[in-house]
């Protein structure tokens, strides 16, 4: 499970949501309003692969917290079932695995542009990298589909569920046909963040691997 979680997290990190005055407004309107006025946010998430595994059992859920400041700065923390941190300072991405006490460092680069991470953490120019379309109402939310324009992305489609101008869910369908769902709670827009919020500090004794 840990390796599966790592893969999903890495894809999320390497491969944007403001209040609308009408809760039932179309998803695209809510989404564009959010992108225009939300510079930073924090909250909690639950992540689970939809459908059953090859063993016939439902995949266990992961959970944790996040904080971001667009563009390209974020801390995505898995707390259960395994502890792992993905942190980006706008230039580099750090992936810390507590069990292994290992930090993997990667250049953030332009890969963020057409990835799921760009939806939450990227710039306001999402329509340069994604084709956006309405996807109707489901589970009490208005949904939006975002299809990456790049052909070399690991994701086929990203769906975003909004209500009252706030993103409550995101579904990531990869090129293998598997779908993972992220559910957001306690979403806070534009919180006050410290200047050093996204500066990564290597844990004592951790091995550092540069990729």
Give per-residue pLDDT as tens, 61-97. Answer: 899 999 999 888 999 999 988 899 999 998 999 999 9
d(CA 190, CA 102): 31
Q: Which residue has the higher pLDDT, 9 or 70?
A: 70
* Structure confidence at residue 119 (pLDDT): 76
| Whole-prediction pTM | 0.80
Asked whether residue 2 carries a pLDDT value surpassing 60, the answer given is no
Task: Express each pLDDT in 149-193 by its tens digit.
Answer: 888 778 899 999 999 888 999 999 988 888 999 999 999 999 999
Which residues are 44's β-sheet partners?
65, 185
What's the residue count for the chain?
211
Q: Where are the beta strands (DSSP E) in 35-116?
A: 40-49, 62-69, 73-80, 84-89, 92-97, 102-107
Task: Express each pLDDT in 124-154 by its tens digit.
Answer: 677 888 899 999 999 999 999 999 888 877 8
d(CA 161, CA 139): 9
Q: What is the share, in percent, of the chain residues with pLDDT greater than 70? A: 81
What is the b/e burial string over 133-160, where b = at least 16 CB atoms within 10 angstroms of the residue's CB? Answer: eebeeeeebbbbbbbbeeeebbbebbbb
* Structure confidence at residue 16 (pLDDT): 36
Q: Which domains does the chain have, with CATH numbers?
A: 2-206 (2.50.20.10)
| Torsion (CA) 36, 70, 169, 176 in degrees, nearest 10 | 120
d(CA 169, CA 76): 16
């Amino acid at each position: 499970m840990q390796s599966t979680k790592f893969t999903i997290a890495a894809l999320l990190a390497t491969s944007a949501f403001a209040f609308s005055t009408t809760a039932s407004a179309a998803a695209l309107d809510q989404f564009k309003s959010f992108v225009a006025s939300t510079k930073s946010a924090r909250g909690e998430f639950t992540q689970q692969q939809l459908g059953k595994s090859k063993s016939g059992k439902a995949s266990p859920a992961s959970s944790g917290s996040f904080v971001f400041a667009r563009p390209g700065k974020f801390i995505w923390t898995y707390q259960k079932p395994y502890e792992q941190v993905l942190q980006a300072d706008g230039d580099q991405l750090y992936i810390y695995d507590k069990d292994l006490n290992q930090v993997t460092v990667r250049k953030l680069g332009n890969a963020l542009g057409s990835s799921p991470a760009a939806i939450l953490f990227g710039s306001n120019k999402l329509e340069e990298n994604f084709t956006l379309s309405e996807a109707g109402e489901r589970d009490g939310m208005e949904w939006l589909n975002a299809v990456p324009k790049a052909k070399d992305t690991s994701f086929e489609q990203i769906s975003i569920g909004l209500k009252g101008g706030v993103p409550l869910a995101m579904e990531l369908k990869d090129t293998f046909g598997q779908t993972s769902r992220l559910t957001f709670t306690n979403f806070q827009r534009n919180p006050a963040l410290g200047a050093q919020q996204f500066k990564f500090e290597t844990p004592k004794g951790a091995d550092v691997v540069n990729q």
